[in-house]
């Protein structure tokens, strides 16, 4: 593992999310996360990326092991579902073929959660989903065995020892593309062979797995728009392969419940917390309310995105499934299983969209409900003052819903028979699917350039940009007390909800690394420790975009003016009013940039920096990395 050589002050390094502060053990005393690689270590990782190594190891793994007494599917933190789950589906098919039971395993690895800055919210969400999955699998007579293991370095041995206990000679799992996880799986391959265990690792996280969409020169794309074009063409050339649904698992024979080995697994409990990651009661209740667990909840949330309008009353920490007018919400969108089999009705929208893409949207998109959020997504997605986006990210990050199902559903809503089954980028639905393609893009970056997941900038040129080491500034940013209303609203939204609107993520991230000149990695870490949807690839991609250090990043000289962004992203002011109650009585310019006298009177802080002044500092330091 790489060392932790960065010269940030200990005070800054130890900052942690408010949500986790009480329960998280001191990372530096119990386990030192070695996230930030030296340039040399990063270069070593980059020159020998672990994904191809894992794929090769799997290729060379035993194919026809001795028949065991069971097949094991190892469920990981990013594939928490039964439906449309490739590794689970394949494991079940093998178990049926061999006439033996399927066992599902989940290993809680607290050291991994510390090392990867997992939020207590994400860990709690995992446990809540596991509880639902356990019950659902039990109805198929499939046991879900959840077990905690430390230290993480012995996890490969531990998993193989469990396989021996279960007399299993086949292990199935979906691939996790982060460096530590790939290395862990490579180790499992090494250990499995001499023990006669066959391994199947499936690509499941993305629509198109890393390594497929490549440039003409056979390189990984580092710019999104050509990647997107190629991505669409690749999906459309093999719709079934990329969007087809994996069959549900087959039930085990009921006799498994009598087995002395497997029967007790039905009783093994899902813990209600993981030590060091317990949520405070109020936060736990709030997370349960606004992010209900389970695939059905995820489907309902997606359905509402596909069929209902933006509602400003859904802006804050409220359940996405609460009927607003007292009547039960009508969820009418069927979820098409095979591309092109949508039964949705084509309805011509009567809503006049604004903007140049409106024409394309209205001619291409059809919707079961006029003005649905997906229909208007192209025009409204950057607005934080209503629920303009799907809010499906916690479910995608945890794999509670498959990304293929999201694409199929968006395509279904297009409902154009001649076009059915084809992915396009036009209209609200197309634009939304292109956001899912961003997710694939960033995962392909992490897989091909693994140095980004050990804390290095994608663009090494910016590794020596000079950062401020100001703990107080960092804390004020974290707490949403910078005196810049849009930034404070954004940070408080995340601290309250465990989620933040995309545009607000960009504004608050850029404010930290350009206006405050604080190392983007401290922001990246705080986001991971606070978000319920924390995902290394997306979070790192978003932060490196904002810090101008990443692939296809914002050029360093294009700095967001937070006040201009505020009026664009929150034109009604409802976003700021929701999350910064001190300013609730204000409107217009006063709300977006309160004059000192008004701010003082309302008990709201004055801005901790003056954007116009610090802008020059950022430009200077980025232009000449290493210089003051």
Ligand X SMILES: Cc1cc2nc3c(=O)[nH]c(=O)nc-3n(C[C@H](O)[C@H](O)[C@H](O)COP(=O)(O)OP(=O)(O)OC[C@H]3O[C@@H](n4cnc5c(N)ncnc54)[C@H](O)[C@@H]3O)c2cc1C
337 exposed, middle or buried (CB, 10 Å; 0-12, 13-18, 19+)?
middle
CB 530 within 8 A of CB 121: yes
Of the candidates 317, 280, 279, the one whose C-alpha atom is nearest the C-alpha of residue 496 is: 317
Least CB distance from residue 427 to ligand X, whole Å?
15
Q: Which residues are within 8 A (CB) of 83 and not within 5 positions of it... i.e. 6 or more apart? A: 245, 248, 295, 402, 405
Instruction: Compare residues 439 and 456 and give the one whose CB is closer to ligand X.
Output: 439
CB 268 within 8 A of CB 147: yes
Instruction: Compare residues 187 and 404 and give the one whose CB is closer to ligand X.
Output: 404
Of the candidates 435, 385, 367, 376, the one whose C-alpha atom is nearest the C-alpha of residue 572 is: 385
**Which position among 146, 303, 367, 538 is part of the footprint of ligand X (CB under 6 A)?**
538
How far apart (Å, rounded) are the C-alpha atoms in residues 169 and 103? 12
CB 91 within 8 A of CB 71: yes
Beta strands (DSSP E) in 124-189 are: 144-148, 168-174
Least CB distance from residue 409 to ligand X, whole Å?
12
Q: CA of 610: how far to CAs of 155, 473, 509, 516, 562, in Å?
A: 50, 13, 17, 10, 11
Q: Which of residues 376-405 bind ligand X (CB under 6 A)?
A: 381, 389-393, 396-397
Of the candidates 303, 305, 295, the one whose C-alpha atom is nearest the C-alpha of residue 331 is: 303
Q: How many CA atoms lie within 13 A of 364 on its CB side?
A: 23
* Cβ count near 27 (within 10 Å): 17
Two structure tokens written together for 527: 């986001």
For residue 147, report the phi and psi dihedrals to the nearest 5 degrees: -140, 145
Q: Which of residues 324-383 bind ligand X (CB under 6 A)?
A: 381
Least CB distance from residue 452 to ligand X, whole Å?
13
Question: Residue number with the shortest CB distance to ligand X?
Answer: 542
502 binds ligand X (CB under 6 A): yes
Least CB distance from residue 265 to ligand X, whole Å?
32
Least CB distance from residue 503 to ligand X, whole Å?
8
CB 150 within 8 A of CB 50: no
505 binds ligand X (CB under 6 A): yes
Least CB distance from residue 384 to ligand X, whole Å?
10
- Our measurement of the distance from residue 570's CA atom to the centroid of its chain's CA atoms, rounded to an integer in Å, reads 24
Which uninterrupted H or E stretch holds 202? Answer: strand 198-202
**Tokens 């967001």 found at:** 560
Instruction: Compare residues 249 and 541 and give the one whose CB is closer to ligand X.
Output: 541
Show binding-site residues.
377, 389-393, 432, 435-442, 533-535
Least CB distance from residue 381 to ligand X, whole Å?
6
**Which position among 110, 421, 542, 594 is part of the footprint of ligand X (CB under 6 A)?**
542
Instruction: Compare residues 249 and 384 and give the one whose CB is closer to ligand X.
Output: 384
Least CB distance from residue 441 to ligand X, whole Å?
7
Q: Which of residues 423-452 bind ligand X (CB under 6 A)?
A: 435-436, 438-439, 442
541 binds ligand X (CB under 6 A): yes
Size of the site for ligand X (CB under 6 A): 29
Q: CA of 517: how far to CAs of 366, 470, 533, in Å?
A: 45, 9, 26
**Active site residues per annotation:** 435, 438, 467, 502, 520, 543
Stretch in the footprint of ligand X (CB under 6 A) among 20-28, 35-43, 352-360, 540-548: 540-548
Instruction: Compare residues 61 and 392 and give the one whose CB is closer to ligand X.
Output: 392
**Which position among 539, 548, 551, 566 is part of the footprint of ligand X (CB under 6 A)?**
539
CB 152 within 8 A of CB 109: yes
| Helix, coil or strand: residue 306 | helix
Show binding-site residues for FAD.
377, 389-393, 432, 435-442, 533-535
**Which position among 84, 533, 570, 574 is part of the footprint of ligand X (CB under 6 A)?**
533
Q: Give the distance between the most distant pair of CA atoms in the chain.
A: 78
Q: Which of residues 546-575 bind ligand X (CB under 6 A)?
A: 546
Least CB distance from residue 467 to ligand X, whole Å?
17
307 binds ligand X (CB under 6 A): no
Instruction: Compare residues 36 and 442 and give the one whose CB is closer to ligand X.
Output: 442
Stretch in the footprint of ligand X (CB under 6 A) among 59-67, 218-226, 502-510, 618-626: 502-510
Instruction: Compare residues 68 and 534 and give the one whose CB is closer to ligand X.
Output: 534
How far apart (Å, rounded) are the C-alpha atoms in residues 144 and 273? 17
413 binds ligand X (CB under 6 A): no
- Our measurement of the distance from residue 557's CA atom to the centroid of its chain's CA atoms, rounded to an integer in Å, reads 28
Instruction: Compare residues 104 and 387 and give the one whose CB is closer to ligand X.
Output: 387
Q: Which residues are within 8 A (CB) of 589 and not within 5 positions of it... i.e. 6 or more apart? A: none
- Applying CB under 6 A, the residues found at the interface with ligand X are 381, 389-393, 396-397, 435-436, 438-439, 442, 501-502, 505-506, 509, 527, 531, 533-535, 538-539, 541-543, 546
């Amino acid at each position: 593992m790489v060392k932790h050589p960065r010269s940030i002050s200990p005070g800054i390094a130890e900052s942690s999310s408010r949500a986790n502060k009480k329960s998280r053990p001191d990372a530096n005393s119990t386990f030192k996360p070695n996230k930030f690689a030296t340039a040399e270590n990063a270069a070593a990782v980059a020159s020998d990326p672990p994904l191809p190594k894992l794929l090769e190891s799997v290729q060379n793994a035993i194919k026809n092991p001795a028949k065991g007494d069971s097949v094991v599917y190892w469920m990981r933190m990013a594939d928490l579902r039964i439906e449309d789950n490739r590794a689970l589906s394949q494991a079940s098919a093998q178990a049926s073929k061999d006439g033996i039971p399927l066992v599902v395993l989940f290993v809680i690895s607290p050291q991994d959660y510390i090392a990867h800055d997992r939020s207590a919210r994400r860990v709690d969400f995992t446990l809540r989903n596991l509880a639902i999955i356990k019950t659902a699998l039990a109805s198929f007579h499939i046991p879900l065995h959840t077990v905690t293991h430390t230290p993480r370095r012995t996890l490969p041995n531990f998993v193989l020892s469990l396989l021996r206990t279960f007399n299993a000679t086949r292990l199935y799992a979906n691939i996790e593309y982060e460096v530590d996880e790939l290395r862990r799986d490579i180790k499992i391959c090494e250990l499995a062979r001499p023990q006669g265990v066959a391994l199947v690792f499936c690509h499941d996280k993305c629509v198109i797995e890393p390594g497929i969409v490549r440039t003409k020169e056979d390189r990984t794309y580092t710019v999104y728009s050509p990647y997107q074009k190629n991505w669409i063409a690749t999906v459309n050339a093999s719709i079934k392969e990329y969007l087809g649904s994996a069959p549900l698992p087959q039930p085990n024979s009921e006799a498994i419940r009598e087995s002395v080995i497997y029967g007790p697994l039905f009783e093994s409990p899902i813990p209600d917390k993981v030590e060091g990651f317990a949520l405070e009661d109020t936060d736990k209740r709030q997370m349960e309310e606004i992010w209900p667990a389970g695939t059905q909840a995820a489907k309902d949330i997606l359905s509402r995105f596909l069929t209902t309008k933006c509602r400003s009353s859904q802006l804050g920490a409220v359940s996405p499934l609460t009927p607003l007018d007292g009547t039960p919400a009508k969820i009418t969108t069927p979820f098409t299983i095979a591309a092109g089999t949508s039964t949705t009705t084509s309805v011509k929208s009567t809503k006049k969209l604004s903007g140049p893409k409106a024409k394309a949207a209205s001619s291409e998109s059809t919707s079961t409900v006029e003005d649905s959020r997906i229909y208007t997504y192209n025009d409204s997605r950057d607005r934080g003052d209503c629920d303009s986006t799907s809010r499906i990210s916690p479910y995608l990050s945890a794999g509670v819903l498959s990304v293929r199902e999201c694409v199929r559903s968006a395509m279904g809503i297009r409902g154009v028979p001649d076009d059915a089954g084809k992915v396009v980028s036009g209209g609200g639905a197309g634009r939304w699917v292109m956001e899912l393609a961003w997710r694939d893009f960033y995962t392909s970056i992490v897989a091909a350039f693994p140095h980004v997941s050990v804390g290095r900038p994608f663009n090494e040129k910016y590794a020596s940009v000079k950062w401020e080491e100001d703990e107080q500034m960092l804390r004020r940013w974290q707490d949403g007390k910078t005196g810049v209303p849009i930034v404070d609203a954004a940070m408080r939204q995340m601290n309250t909800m465990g989620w933040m609107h995309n545009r607000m993520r960009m504004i608050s991230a850029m404010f930290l690394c350009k206006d405050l000149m604080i190392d983007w990695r401290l922001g990246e870490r705080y986001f991971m420790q606070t978000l319920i949807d924390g995902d290394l690839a997306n979070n790192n991609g978003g932060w490196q975009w904002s810090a101008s250090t990443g692939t296809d990043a914002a050029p360093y000289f294009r700095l967001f003016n937070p006040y201009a962004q505020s009026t664009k992203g929150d034109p009604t002011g409802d976003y700021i009013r929701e999350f910064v109650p001190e300013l609730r009585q204000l409107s217009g310019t006063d709300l977006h940039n309160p004059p000192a006298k008004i701010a003082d009177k309302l008990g709201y802080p004055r801005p901790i920096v003056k954007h116009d002044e610090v802008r020059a500092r950022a430009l200077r330091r980025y232009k000449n990395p290493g210089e003051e």
